[in-house]
A and B are shown apart, each in its own frame.
Chain A
Amino acid sequence: MSALETLIQLAYLVAAACFVLGLHRMNSPATARNGNLLSAAGMAVAVGATVVLIVTGHGPVTSVSPVAWVIIGAGVLVGGGTGLYSARTVKMTAMPQLVSIFNAVGGGAAALIAIDDFIRLVGQGASIPLETSIPTVLDVIIGSITFTGSIIAAGKLQGLIPGQPIILPGSRLLTLALAVVAVFGSFYFFAGGASLPVFFLVLAAALVFGVTMVLPIGGADMPVVISLLNSFTGTAVAMAGFVIDNPVLIIAGALVGASGAILTKLMADAMNRSVLNIMIGGFGTGDAAAGAAAGGPSGSVREIGADDAAIQLAYAQHVIIVPGYGLAVAQAQHAVRELAEQLESRGVDVSYAIHPVAGRMPGHMNVLLAEANVPYPQLKEMDDINPEFERADVALVVGANDVTNPAARTNPASPIYGMPILDVDRAKSIIVIKRSMRPGYAGIDNELYVNPKTGMLFADAKDGLAALTAAVKAL
């Protein structure tokens, strides 16, 4: 190994260390931004080292054709430009689907590397050893599933594809058939086969599988799906590292594959569901209906007007706001902050109770509220705020449903039994802003709404908050 090659390998090591330390620094809000910059610096080092590797002829070929430089330059310009523009201009509420798109193209790039490598190997007519065929086939299958799956997930979040679970007749059979094709095709290659038509058949099966895997899953579950697909991309990239024999791809890919898997499990745990259950789909279609029938709450709903609600809020000492999915969908994060500022100017103590899965992704609510300039110390996590509900005069629930349902604590027959919830029902009084009595995505009724302490303000989150703010101002 020449001195230069050693230096390049050391640069890759530095990059890998930056990725690990960068992820580690993202553990805490204080160092997170710094950690992301460190990770970006590692990326710059790795890409820089690769440019040096190519220029000095230590890459795959000793003299690089001008065409190759045009391909790389144009690719970086087009892809990087698109990425930069969309990342700069995207609204924060639309950010989860953009992350999904970035994930899709990452998986696509990883798959393309294996496709290119395989076509080249077949063209050479050489036999393909097991240590090449395994990572190649895995890379193509996982990368392709990620590519189409992430695009469908983004489409669901953006509303281009209906968010409800889409179950076409025979779709499960089709998914199964695709899986069988992919598995048998893989074993064909592991056994030393080198047929291009079979390869493209496996590729097509994986691409369609990505679509049929995500379509039957409801929009509210998309965060878990995106996180899982993110983990898939990491794995595909690690496999690409094996294919082209590059350590930094292996390290970074494995790092993301593992961390994405943990993150996926944490997100599913917060909703008291298994990842398998989500991927199979059907929540809110079959078993949930049985649960609702078993424990439907009875009682009457008390409706409250904006003026009455405003009086309750304005003369309270301690108000806890519980923002949820409905607030994110209505993009009411600025409206809620205005109301909170009005209340604070009247001496009311305001805090926000953030359920781990509030919003469209874990932590998404924090991002949205931070964007609306809500002071970070006012955002309380579930475990910190739950003991405080007993002392709260009013709990204001904005577009949150299942995460406030006391059935999770009290009714063992409920499908959400055991899910950690916010103890909103322990507040002295409760105001719920909600468009209708429609159940949340778990498809069950919320007994909080028939609690005698609860007043329902039927409105869109944004309009309801604006009406409350106006009413508080007028007092």
Chain B
Amino acid sequence: MSPELLSALTIFVLAILVGFEVISKVPATLHTPLMSGANSIHGIVLVGAMLIAVAADNPLSQLLSFVAVAFAAMNVVGGYVVTDRMLQMFRKRPAPPQPKAGGEGQG
């Protein structure tokens, strides 16, 4: 086993353990935003998609990497924006909410 693979395996295992610890303390209220937040983090695959796009030297590879970049970018951008929209709603409201006139079309 090469030293590179060994160190990669090491960080892989340690990151798994960190993942277990980070989540086990989250209240149920935040589970949905948390799932969405974790969902955006695996959008890091964008980095990998960019790297294969650079290495692509034939039409098939270029097509695959284009789809990969588009997919990953959708995961990252959409994931963070929708998570932020969810979390925005947990902000503290010091004053009692005023009923909005006509602003409730979302329900």
A residues near B, CB below 8 A? 15-16, 19-20, 22-24, 26-30, 32-33, 35-37, 39-40, 43, 46-47, 50-51, 54, 59-61, 64, 67-68, 71-72, 74-76, 78-84, 86-88, 90-93, 95-96, 98-99, 102-103, 105-106, 108-110, 112-113, 115-117, 119-120, 131, 226-227, 230, 233-234, 237-238, 240-263, 266-267, 270, 331-335, 341, 354, 356, 361-364, 366-367, 370-373, 375-376, 379, 381
Assembly CA distance A165 to B98 (angstroms): 43
Q: List 7 A-B contacts (CB under 8 A).
A: A22-B37, A72-B69, A234-B42, A238-B15, A255-B15, A263-B38, A363-B33
Assembly CA distance A260 to B74 (angstroms): 20
**Separation in Å of the B30 CB from the closest CB of chain A?**
6
| Binary flags per residue of B31-54, CB closer than 8 Å to A gives 1, else 0 | 111111111111111111111111
Residues of A within 8 A of B34 (CB): 23, 26, 259, 263, 363
**Separation in Å of the A439 CB from the closest CB of chain B?**
24
Residues of B within 8 A of A242 (CB): 5, 8, 12
Residues of B within 8 A of A78 (CB): 70, 73
Q: Are A106 and B53 in touch, CB under 8 angstroms?
A: no
Residues of B within 8 A of A39 (CB): 37, 40-41, 80
Closest-by-CB residue of A relative to B61 is A116
Candidates A50, A61, A80, A267; contact of B76 at CB < 8 Å: A80
Candidates B32, B46, B77, B78; contact of A363 at CB < 8 Å: B32
Residues of A within 8 A of B101 (CB): none
Residues of A within 8 A of B82 (CB): 87, 90, 95, 98-99, 102
Residues of B within 8 A of A375 (CB): 93, 96-97
Q: Are A43 and B40 in touch, CB under 8 angstroms?
A: yes
Residues of B within 8 A of A341 (CB): 99
Closest-by-CB residue of B relative to A12 is B47
A-B pair number, CB within 8 angstroms: 401
Assembly CA distance A27 to B69 (angstroms): 31
Residues of A within 8 A of B20 (CB): 258-259, 261-262
Candidates A86, A226, A253; contact of B35 at CB < 8 Å: A226
Q: Are A60 and B37 in touch, CB under 8 angstroms?
A: no
Residues of A within 8 A of B28 (CB): 266, 270, 356, 362-363, 381
B residues near A, CB below 8 A? 1-2, 4-5, 8, 11-13, 15-20, 22-56, 60-62, 64-93, 96-97, 99, 104, 106-107
**Separation in Å of the B56 CB from the closest CB of chain A?**
7
Interchain residue pairs A-B with the least CB separation, the first 9: A258-B19, A83-B78, A75-B69, A79-B73, A79-B70, A370-B89, A362-B31, A254-B15, A87-B81
Further contacts, 12 of them, CB under 8 A, given A68-B56, A79-B75, A250-B11: A20-B22, A23-B41, A47-B76, A60-B54, A71-B66, A102-B43, A109-B71, A115-B64, A116-B52, A256-B38, A356-B28, A379-B29
Assembly CA distance A183 to B89 (angstroms): 45
Candidates B25, B42, B83, B106; contact of A27 at CB < 8 Å: B25
Assembly CA distance A51 to B46 (angstroms): 11
Residues of B within 8 A of A255 (CB): 15-16, 18-19, 22, 38, 41
Q: Are B54 and A367 in touch, CB under 8 angstroms?
A: no
Residues of A within 8 A of B53 (CB): 68, 71-72, 75
Candidates B32, B48, B85; contact of A364 at CB < 8 Å: B32
Q: Are B37 and A99 in touch, CB under 8 angstroms?
A: no
Closest-by-CB residue of A relative to B70 is A79
Residues of A within 8 A of B69 (CB): 71-72, 75-76, 79, 109
Residues of A within 8 A of B8 (CB): 241-242, 245, 247, 250
Candidates A99, A109, A373; contact of B39 at CB < 8 Å: A99
Candidates A96, A331, A372; contact of B32 at CB < 8 Å: A96
